[in-house]
Structure formats: structure tokens, C-alpha cells
Amino acid sequence: MIEVLSAASEFYPLIKTGGLADVVSSLPAALKKHNVHMSILLPGYPSVMSAIQNAKIVHNYEDYFGSNAKILNCQMNDIQLFILDAPHLFNRPGSPYTGPDGQDWPDNGLRFAALSRTAADLGTGILAGYQPEILHLHDWQTALTPVYCRDRRGPPTVLTLHNLAFQGQFPTDLLDKIGLPRHFYSIDCLEYYGSVGFLKGGVSCASAITTVSPKYAEEICTPEFGMGLDGALRSRKALLRGIINGIDENVWDPKTDPRLTSNYDQKSLNKRHFNKISLEQHFGLDRDDSILHGVVTRLSWQKGIDFIIQSLDEIISNGARLILVGQGDIGMERSLKEASERYKGRLGIFMGYDENLAHKLFAGLDTILIPSRFEPCGLTQLYGLRYGCIPIVSRVVG
């Protein structure tokens, strides 16, 4: 059995803002069939700390990125979890990355450098009796791990790029605060257009790089889609692989999903209609035979939500109805709230993310709209197809 430690900023069901959490939680079971035992390292957010039980302290840090911290260990759903319990970094309201005002936490560089350093410590034998053979890192939040391992004797590192648009760029004075030597600030490591680039460092130092579809692996090596990292990725192209993303079909199964008003499968699609009725009631929509579109996404330029906002008049004047669930850009949220007042009975919105509601939407919507400007792979359309909800997408990779 190969021992792997996966370090990530999200893990379903404890903390989720998007598909990353689903992938991280699904991989251990999927890889177990291939003789791989995968443990997970997570930050000690409030939602994580309140959910874990019987956690043991396995390591104490003194003055760790600003205060004392601990590594905790516990089991959840047959998965071994390590938790970085650092209240000064993670015990705060808001999403994992932003405060209640929607702005990035100003110390995000410090917070996720600590998570990366902890992954490197676990990989280099800080715990007696535990030695992973591979470190698996996800996106910029843990991309410093290969950098911390650079001058230490540790296992190979695999960095998975879920979305190159988020890279973790910070001022150069951060180096002194996160315990990395100044000579790491170079073109072949952390230097990134005059700033410290977490993802740039990970791409430069990882033993292997993967991303979530073969086509996206090709695209990110081009100036158009490389987001400024195309040169670094081309220089390491021999180590780059695209592996198509997937979903856990046991969690996402309309035949057994406990969240649905009415369960169904391909032989009993007539039962699906009761889920649509439930959505109409929940969002106070008019009851009629018109098509019911839906959007479940982060509200951002990448996801093309401005296209949705610009098209609302046309969508609704053509007789359709729309439900939108998401959060993100403050201006987009404001525009959608104003539109919901104009289109009572035709437009339903929920600002936030609710896992139960997401399952209900895929089970009751006629279509799911995905107008993304770019999409590395996308799980939304896979959920839609699994639940008989037709994806209407822009013609981009993913």
C-alpha cells in the first residue's frame, strides 16, 4: 500500500466553496482500489474544528507563523485527517479565503504558507511512525510545499492545478515572515513579476504537475490561457499531465440521494417532476409549464455571470424562469438581488452555497447554464448529466 498525504484548503463535507472540495474528498476511496492509502491535511477552520471528534494532538508548534499551533489527528468516514489547529490563522468567520465583507484576508499569504509548511513537515518525518511516500498538493494554497521541501530530504511532490486563475501572489516582504531563504526569490523558484508567487514556486519545484483535463494541460502552456505561468509550465512540460476530473457517483446518485424530494433513475424519470415542484415552492416561483433554467456557481467574471445578468430580460421575456445560487463578486450579487425584485415569480436567487440545495437543484431544474469564459474541466455539467439536467454551456475546454 502506497502512503500519500494530500494537503488542501477544502474538503467536503467540512468546508466547500467549489469542486476542489469534492475532488479532495473523493480521491481516497477512488485510489484505494489502486493500492493507495491517502490521508488529508486541512486547516482548522471553525467548521472543521466543530465537526471532528476524538482528535489527538500529535505535534505542538511554538510561535508558528505568529502564535502557537498544533497538528491534530482523527478519522472521518474511514479517512485519516490531519488538522492544522492554528486559531490565529483559521478561527475566523467568512469563507476560507475572504472575510464577511467579501475581501481577501490580508494575511492569506501567512495562512497558507503555514499549511504548506505543515505538509512539508509531515512529509519529512515530523511524526514518529508516519512517513508518506508522496505529497499531493492542490492549487496555490498548498503550492509552497514543494518549495519548503526543496532543501530538505522529503518524498516526491505532485501539484494539481484545478484553476490557474488563482495563483497566490504576495509582496516580497512575505519571505522573511514565512521562513524561506532570500535566494529562493529567483526566476526558477518564487519570483513572479516582482512578487512572491506561491503557484509559480510550486510549478517550479514540484516533482510532477497534473491538471484536471488533458486539453487544459495543453491550453495552460499557451499565453492565452497560461495566466502568466505559461513559460514556467512549458519549461516543465515533460512533468505535466492532464487527468480528466470526475465525480463520486455514490454521493451524486438521484436513485439514492437522501436530499431529494423524490428519488428516480433513468427508468422512472416521471418521478423527477416532483423535485421541480419542490423548487418552485421553495423559491416562490410561478407554477407553469415553462422551462426552468438554473445557475449554481461562484459569481465571477470567469464564470460568465455578467452574461447571465445581461441576458435576464431576454430569458424571462421569452417565458422562461431562472434560479441562481452562488456567491462572490459584490457587484454581481447586488445586480441579481435588484433583478429578483423586478422579476418576482420568475427569478429566484440564493446568495451563498448550500450543498443540500445544490443536489435539489440538479434534480429539479430542466437545464443548468454554464457560460464560463474558461473552465479547466468543470464538475457542474457532470452533476447535471448525472441527474438528467441538461447542461447549456459555452464552447470552451471543460
In terms of domains, do 233 and 311 share one?
no
What is the per-residue pLDDT for 152? 86
In terms of domains, do 286 and 208 share one?
no
Q: What angle do CA 320, 322, 327 make, to 5 degrees?
A: 160
What is the per-residue pLDDT for 127? 97
In terms of domains, do 213 and 274 share one?
no
In terms of domains, do 298 and 185 share one?
no
Matching residue, cell 503555514: 114
Residue 258 lies in a domain: no
Q: Residue 9, exposed/middle/buried by CB under 10 A (0-12, 13-18, 19+)?
A: buried
In terms of domains, do 172 and 278 share one?
no
**Domain's final residue, options 242, 257, 285:** 242
- Number of structural domains (the chain) is 2
What is the per-residue pLDDT for 102? 78
Residue 251 lies in a domain: no
In whole angstroms, give the CA distance from residue 29 to residue 356: 22
In terms of domains, do 163 and 298 share one?
no
Residue 398 lies in a domain: no
In terms of domains, do 223 and 322 share one?
no
Q: Identify the domain containing residue 352 by its residue range.
A: 269-393
In terms of domains, do 13 and 144 share one?
yes
Residue 228 lies in a domain: yes
In whole angstroms, give the CA distance from residue 364 to residue 360: 6
Contact 209, 241 (CB under 8 A): yes
**Domain's final residue, options 196, 224, 242:** 242
In terms of domains, do 286 and 210 share one?
no
- Average pLDDT, consecutive stretches of 10 residues, N- to C-terminus, the chain (398 residues): 97 91 94 96 97 94 97 95 98 90 92 98 96 98 97 92 94 94 94 96 98 94 94 97 92 97 96 97 95 95 95 96 93 94 96 92 98 90 96 88
In whole angstroms, give the CA distance from residue 87 to residue 70: 10
In terms of domains, do 294 and 182 share one?
no
Residue 247 lies in a domain: no
Q: pLDDT per residue over 317-346, tens digit each?
A: 999 999 999 988 889 999 999 999 999 999
Q: What angle do CA 107, 113, 115 make, to 5 degrees?
A: 110
Residue 117 lies in a domain: yes
In whole angstroms, give the CA distance from residue 122 to residue 322: 47
Q: What angle do CA 372, 373, 375 make, to 5 degrees?
A: 65
In terms of domains, do 200 and 277 share one?
no
The residue ranges of DSSP E strands in 249-341, in sequence order, are 292-299, 321-328
Cell of residue 300, nine digits? 465571477
Residue 39 lies in a domain: yes
In terms of domains, do 237 and 288 share one?
no
Contact 303, 371 (CB under 8 A): yes
Contact 200, 229 (CB under 8 A): yes
Q: pLDDT per residue over 178-209, tens digit each?
A: 999 999 999 999 999 999 999 999 999 999 99
What is the per-residue pLDDT for 180? 94
Please state the length of the chain: 398
Residue 226 lies in a domain: yes
What is the per-residue pLDDT for 18? 84
The CATH number of residue 230's host domain is 3.40.50.2000
